[in-house]
Amino acid sequence: MINLTVNGKTHRLDVEPDTPLLWVLRDTLDLKGAKYGCGIAQCGACTVIANGAAIRSCVTPVEALADADVLTIEGVGAKGLSKLQQAWLDHQVPQCGYCQTGQIMQATALLKDIPKPTDEEIDAGMAGNICRCGTYVRIRAAIKQAAGV
Ligand code: FES
Ligand code: FES
C-alpha cells in the first residue's frame, strides 16, 4: 500500500511501487488531465508538479512520491481559473489540446521559480514540452501575460 497526496487529498493505494505516477493518476484516481505522449520523458504531455517542481509522471515511480505533494491540472483549476489558465484562454493557446495540460503545469512551475521571466527564460523553461500543433508563440505570450511582463 502506498500513500499518495494529490491536489491536497491523501489516497491509500494498492498499487505496485514501481507503477509510473501517470498510470496511477489516470487509471487508479481517474484524473485524466495528464496525458501519455512518449512514455520516456521526451515530450512533457504527462507533466505534473511534485513539491513545487515539474516532473514527468510517465517515468516517475509512484513510490518516489510517497511523501510528496502532487499537483495536477485538476488541482490548478479547482478553485477557479489560475492566471495562467485565463491567459491561455485569452490567447487561444490550445489547438488540438493534447499537450496543453503539460504545458500549463510546466509554466506553473516556471513562474513559481521565476515570477518575471524573460523570453529566453521562458523558452529554456518550456523547452522540454513539445507541441505538435506549434503553439509555442502563443504559449510564450500567455506566460508573459500571466507574469505581467
Ligand atoms: S509522456 Fe511523459 S514526457 Fe512524454
Ligand atoms: S495543441 Fe496540439 S499538440 Fe499542442
Instruction: Provide the residue-wise pLDDT of the chain in tens; the chain has 149 residues.
Output: 999 999 999 999 999 999 999 999 999 999 999 999 999 999 999 999 999 999 999 999 999 998 899 999 999 989 899 999 999 999 999 999 999 999 999 999 999 999 999 999 999 999 999 999 999 999 999 999 999 99
Q: Which three cell numbers stand for residue 55?
A: 516532473
Å from CA of 122 to ligand 1 middle: 20
For residue 129 and ligand 2, the question of a CB distance below 6 A is answered with no
Report the nearest atom of ligand 1 relative to the CA of 39: 1
Contact 31, 74 (CB under 8 A): yes
Q: Which three cell numbers stand for residue 14?
A: 494498492
Identify the CA nearest to 112 among candidates 49, 46, 34. 49
Residue 87 is given by DSSP the state: H
Q: Which residues, 6+ apart, have CB-to-CB distance to 61 below 8 Å?
A: 17, 18, 19, 20, 21
- 2-76 CATH fold: Ubiquitin-like (UB roll) (3.10.20)
d(CA 100, CA 106): 10
Residue ranges, comma separated, of all CATH 1.10.150.120 domains in the chain are: 83-147
- 83-147 CATH fold: DNA polymerase; domain 1 (1.10.150)
On whether the pTM is more than 0.85, the answer is yes
Residue ranges, comma separated, of all CATH 3.10.20.30 domains in the chain are: 2-76
